């Protein structure tokens, strides 16, 4: 999951989807990407559970999987807090 989030293009896609559902074509145009490159990034994000595709007629709208994003955020917050405690103990 963190590997999927580590790619700068995928970070931009996640940021874009944080503002609402988007089809792949809009993602490609907004990020100035060639349309064939977008499915690769969307697949990686889907496989990591970070986004969900919802069929809307002939297109698929992508949205954040908010539950997973919140879980990752909580985990990283707890990890950062643990690191701060460890760093504090080392300095003493």
> Would you state the pLDDT for residue 91?
66
- State the chain's mean pLDDT as an integer: 91
The answer to whether position 92 is within a domain reads no
pLDDT tens track for 15-35 = 999 999 999 999 999 999 988
- Which pTM was predicted? 0.82
The answer to whether position 53 is within a domain reads yes
The answer to whether position 88 is within a domain reads no
The answer to whether position 87 is within a domain reads no
Residue 70: pLDDT band with limits 50, 70, 90? very high
pLDDT tens track for 35-50 = 889 999 999 999 999 9
The answer to whether position 22 is within a domain reads yes
> Would you state the pLDDT for residue 92?
60
Give the CATH number, domain containing residue 26: 1.10.10.10
The answer to whether position 6 is within a domain reads yes
Three-state secondary structure string covering the chain: CHHHHHCHHHHHHHHHHCCCCEEHHHHHHHCCCCHHHHHHHHHHHHHCCCEEEEEECCEEEEEECHHHHHHHHHHHHHHHHHHHHHHHHHHC
* Domain, as residue range, for 24: 2-65
The answer to whether position 28 is within a domain reads yes
The answer to whether position 24 is within a domain reads yes
How many domains does the chain contain in total?
1
> Would you state the pLDDT for residue 67?
93
């Amino acid at each position: 999951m963190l590997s999927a989030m580590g790619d700068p293009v995928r970070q931009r896609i996640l940021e874009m989807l944080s503002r609402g559902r988007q089809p792949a074509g809009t993602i490609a145009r907004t990020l100035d990407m060639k349309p064939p490159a977008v499915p690769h990034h969307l697949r990686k994000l889907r496989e990591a559970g970070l986004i969900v595709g919802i069929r809307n007629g002939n297109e698929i709208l992508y949205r954040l999987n908010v539950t997973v994003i919140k879980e990752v955020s909580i985990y990283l917050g707890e990890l950062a807090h643990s690191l701060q405690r460890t760093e504090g103990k080392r300095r003493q």
